[in-house]
Structure 1
Amino acid sequence: MTTKPLIRFDWAMKRLLRQKSNFVILEGFLSELLKEDIIIEQILESESNQESYEDKFNRVDILALNSKKELVIFEIQNNKQVDYFQRMLYGVSKVTTEYLGLGERYSRIKKVYSINIVYFDLGQGKDYVYYGKTDFVGIHQGDLLELSAKQKELFEKEAVYQLFPEFYVIKINNFNDLAKDTLDEWIYYLKNDEVLNNSKAKGLKEVAEYLKIQNLPEAEQNAYFKHIENKRIERSVIDTAVMDGIDIGRAEGRAEGIAEGIAEERARAEEEKRQLVLQTARNLKNLGLSNEQIAIATGLPVTTIETL
């Protein structure tokens, strides 16, 4: 048995989990993933997690600072992106440099965790949770490069990899819905928007309590359902674009036909997405929301909303 459908995690990250009262939800997820008790001190802003127009349809970023003064990047990607690995690297590199003050020693660089929740088949692999870290192994002796005693004392770390970013990739679609442990209980929610009854995972009790769709104000519910519909349309448009691009390429017998077909379809898709956002803004305006509230919900500039 499960709870009734709950708010999608990406929507919650955008609108609800940035509130300090709801930090317990993100803390629970992180604690189950990292296998230690995590406390979030604050949600930060950086150049790498600013939302662009495309972000409204593709990803949600949260940058958090935990009680150990470590940085945690949360990112959800709904649609396939061939260079997503490079984007993970860029995001980590960006926040690493942003949070090192000018003239500060390198020893002040903050530890970064990159948590990536993807709803497409990233790379090739059958598992649904992947972990990556940096180790240095001797090419002749095969030994692991380790910290000196002085470095351990200075950095308060036991191993070299702990100084470097660590990456987690959760491939939601590979999960078979059989929850064998508390992390699986979280992944079940991420995939199905439901919490299994008698779940013991940290934070899921609060998810079931606070992320009920019926708890949203009516205007927010309307915006949420429109968001879900946009996701379906976006997925359909992109799938069609890929198929049409492939068909064009085969028909013309040229590899570039695929790229051109996909580019044209994506351009049409972008215009459709823009029109959907504008229509959502009109609907919210008709419901009586202020221009500033609509701007937060849609990402449109207030000046654009004023002209609708």
Structure 2
Amino acid sequence: MPRRRLISFDWALKKLLRSKANFEILEGFLSELLKDDIQILEILESESNKEARQDKYNRVDLKVKNQREELIIIEVQYEREYDYLQRILYGTSKVITEHMDESQPYSQVVKVISVNILYFDLGQGDDYVYHGTTVFKGLHGQDVLRLTEEQRELYKRQEVHEIYPEYYLIKVNNFNDVAKDTLDEWIYFLKNEEIKEEFSAKGLKKAKQELDILKLPEKERQAYERYQDDLHYQASMVESSYTIGVKKGIKQGIKQGLQQGLQQGIQQGLQQGIQQGMVEGKKEKALEIAKNLIDVLDVKTIAMKTGLTEVEIEALKKRL
């Protein structure tokens, strides 16, 4: 059977998954990733709810509230950002402060989960899914700090790390297209925009029905095609800029290396020339003195006076 073309997940986040009728798709993805039965209560206004993709710097995000009043930020990022780890830290911190009233005690700090779907290589690591939490570990006994019974009751949490923001990094391009579990089935879709018949992950059946490109109205389908063309164009521009930059850097490095090497060679040559000239000048002066002493002193004494060897003085006598 021909492959059924599906809408990419970032376009779905931007256009379709904000509808309550499609919460099942988003809930399925989050449930498989977080290993929990996630139910979405509402979609909240996020930082980048804008129509023009360029206004968001190649970024699409969505902020949802689940049944536990936790806030989940879902973000899709295509372009390379070297400070991306700091940016997601800033993003979670901003969400916490935005959802905290001045009169509230700190025990009411909202729980934030940051889910990042990345189409570029971030950091060094071969895996395709990374999970980050905050853990306090003893320096001496290596024990992990736990909550007391009173704190568990107050925070409605069982462990310390559950209080702090959590981060999920999905490095889509690292996935080898072999789906070993239901989360892998979702990542396969994220990478290939395809859902296989045998996939059974939560939300994928609904996604296969609702994200079919053929179901889009003609105007929206054209907008989606332009969006995909823009993605390919910007990816090519980034790759070209990177390649050109590397080649330019290598050429500049070689040129600078040659210039520095030439300058060092000239300086070393001058120094060696001066030193050799001084040595030769001293020797010429010693030979001139030896000429004047040959008829007066013996060879041994002349050698002592001039610093020449007796062989050199004997050779000088033969030439005279």
Short-chain TM bin: 0.7 to 0.9
What's the offset of the Cα at 1:45?
1.1
**2:318 maps to what in 1?**
none
Taking the aligned partners of 1:135 and 1:155, their CA distance within structure 2 comes to 16
Taking the aligned partners of 2:254 and 2:98, their CA distance within structure 1 comes to 44
Q: Which deviates the most, 235-244 or 156-165?
A: 235-244
**2:35 maps to what in 1?**
35
Which protein has the larger Cα radius of gyration, Structure 1 or Structure 2?
2
CA contact under 8 A between 2:48 and 2:56: conserved in structure 1? Answer: no
**2:212 maps to what in 1?**
212
Query: Structure 1 pair 118/254, CA: closer, same or farther in 2 (3 Å)?
Result: farther
Q: What TM-score, normalized to structure 2?
A: 0.76
What's the offset of the Cα at 1:154?
1.0
**1:261 maps to what in 2?**
none
**1:239 maps to what in 2?**
239
Taking the aligned partners of 1:110 and 1:191, their CA distance within structure 2 comes to 32
CA contact under 8 A between 1:135 and 1:161: conserved in structure 2? Answer: yes
What's the offset of the Cα at 1:229?
0.4
What's the offset of the Cα at 1:50?
4.5
Secondary structure (helix, strand or coil) at the match of 1:248 reads: helix
**1:83 maps to what in 2?**
83
Over the aligned positions, Cα root-mean-square deviation in angstroms equals 1.9
Q: What TM-score, normalized to structure 1?
A: 0.79
Taking the aligned partners of 1:88 and 1:113, their CA distance within structure 2 comes to 10
What's the offset of the Cα at 1:249?
2.4
Secondary structure (helix, strand or coil) at the match of 2:76 reads: strand
Taking the aligned partners of 1:254 and 1:27, their CA distance within structure 2 comes to 54
Provide structure 1 residue ranges, at least 5 long, that are not aligned to the other structure: 256-308
What's the offset of the Cα at 1:80?
1.3
**1:133 maps to what in 2?**
133
Matching of residue 183 in structure 1 with residue 183 in structure 2: yes
Matching of residue 174 in structure 1 with residue 174 in structure 2: yes
The one-letter code sitting in structure 2 at the alignment partner of 1:24 is E
CA contact under 8 A between 1:70 and 1:112: conserved in structure 2? Answer: yes
Residues 209-288 of structure 1 mapped to structure 2, 5 A cutoff: 209-253=209-253
Deviations 1:198-254 (A, max 9, x none): 211000001100000011110000000000000000000111111222222233339
CA contact under 8 A between 1:3 and 1:196: conserved in structure 2? Answer: no
Taking the aligned partners of 1:218 and 1:11, their CA distance within structure 2 comes to 16
Taking the aligned partners of 1:212 and 1:194, their CA distance within structure 2 comes to 10
Query: Structure 1 pair 201/2, CA: closer, same or farther in 2 (3 Å)?
Result: farther
Query: Structure 1 pair 221/50, CA: closer, same or farther in 2 (3 Å)?
Result: closer
The one-letter code sitting in structure 2 at the alignment partner of 1:252 is Q
Secondary structure (helix, strand or coil) at the match of 2:102 reads: coil
Deviations 1:163-201 (A, max 9, x none): 001111011111111111100110000000000112110
Query: Structure 1 pair 154/160, CA: closer, same or farther in 2 (3 Å)?
Result: same
CA contact under 8 A between 1:114 and 1:166: conserved in structure 2? Answer: yes
The one-letter code sitting in structure 2 at the alignment partner of 1:125 is G
Residues 53-202 of structure 1 mapped to structure 2, 5 A cutoff: 54-56=54-56, 58-202=58-202
Secondary structure (helix, strand or coil) at the match of 1:65 reads: strand
The one-letter code sitting in structure 2 at the alignment partner of 1:84 is Y
The one-letter code sitting in structure 2 at the alignment partner of 1:96 is I
CA contact under 8 A between 2:53 and 2:59: conserved in structure 1? Answer: no
Aligned residues: 255
Taking the aligned partners of 1:71 and 1:55, their CA distance within structure 2 comes to 24
Taking the aligned partners of 1:16 and 1:60, their CA distance within structure 2 comes to 13
CA contact under 8 A between 1:111 and 1:165: conserved in structure 2? Answer: yes
Query: Structure 1 pair 254/140, CA: closer, same or farther in 2 (3 Å)?
Result: farther
What's the offset of the Cα at 1:81?
1.2
What's the offset of the Cα at 1:36?
1.0
Provide structure 2 residue ranges, at least 5 long, that are not aligned to the other structure: 256-320
Q: Which deviates the most, 168-177 or 48-57?
A: 48-57
Taking the aligned partners of 1:124 and 1:2, their CA distance within structure 2 comes to 37
Taking the aligned partners of 1:57 and 1:214, their CA distance within structure 2 comes to 28
Secondary structure (helix, strand or coil) at the match of 2:110 reads: coil
Secondary structure (helix, strand or coil) at the match of 1:253 reads: helix
The one-letter code sitting in structure 1 at the alignment partner of 2:15 is R
